[in-house]
Amino acid sequence: MKVAVLALQGAFAEHETMLQRLGADTFQVRQLSDWQQHKDALVIPGGESTTQLNLLEHLNLLVPIRNAIHDGLPVFGTCAGMILLACQEDGKPRQGFGTMDIDVRRNAYGRQMGSFHTVQAVNGIGDDIPMTFIRAPYAHGLLSSSAKVLSQVDGHIVAVQQDRQLATAFHPELTDDTRMHEFFLHIATS
Ligand code: GLN
């Protein structure tokens, strides 16, 4: 299993460490020639979605990555990665990959709740999944029946699966708990 990790900005190194702990090979995608290597799956890290989007456009990576996801490449987006996968933000179409039928709200928890940690169950994965939120989004609507809620915190959707696409508002790569990544590798190989 070879996992491409988008490495333009943000917490990509922590994803690589976790994937490698689980036995996957990883490589960083910083430019188009990296992307052209063989891969079985893609991870889009947290960070700053506007910065990542500008770089994706500038480096001519946005369209080839979007096409690969459309063609079935398994993808896991965390936080800013979730925002980049969403096809809507606050009810309006948004720039990005736009491959997940979700409507997101950015920086959705307000200034005082900008960063927090909690534990919550994730359907099909387990109880007590540690969740670190950093100026995180949430999904406030699912736009098709193929998008499924996996977890909610305080009534807000924080984990979604749509076929072979997985998105979390939180950062599992910043904890010691490997279950979200194991679940993703399972999706990617099934
Ligand atoms: N607030 C960031 C954004 O809008 C996401 C934060 C994160 O990825 N930790 O892109």
Domain span at residue 143?
A: 2-189
Cβ atoms 187, 39 nearer than 8 A: no
Calculate how far, in angstroms, residue 27's C-alpha sits from the geometric centre of ligand 1: 23
Query: Tens digit of pLDDT for each residue in 127-160?
Result: 999 999 999 999 999 999 999 999 999 999 999 9
Number of residues assigned to the chain: 190
Query: Ligand 1: does its nearest atom lie under 6 Å from the Cβ of 106?
Result: yes
% the chain with pLDDT above 90: 95
CATH of the domain at 52: 3.40.50.880
Other beta carbons within 10 angstroms of residue 154's beta carbon come to: 10
Is there a contact between 129 and 141 (Cβ–Cβ < 8 Å)? no
Number of domains comprising the chain = 1
Q: In this model, does residue 70 exceed pLDDT 70?
A: yes
52 lines ligand 1 (CB under 6 A): no
Q: Which spans in the chain are helix H? A: 12-21, 32-35, 49-58, 62-70, 80-85, 179-189
Per the residue annotation, which of 79, 87, 89, 181 is the catalytic one? 79
Q: What's the predicted TM-score (pTM) here?
A: 0.97
pLDDT tens-digit readout, 99-121: 999 999 998 886 656 789 999 99
Q: Is 15 a catalytic residue?
A: no
Q: Is 45 in the pocket of ligand 1 (CB under 6 A)?
A: no
Residue 23 has φ and ψ, to the nearest 5°, of: 95, 5
Average pLDDT over residues 4-30: 98
Residue type for position 174: L
The dihedral sign for the CA sequence 47, 51, 52, 53: positive
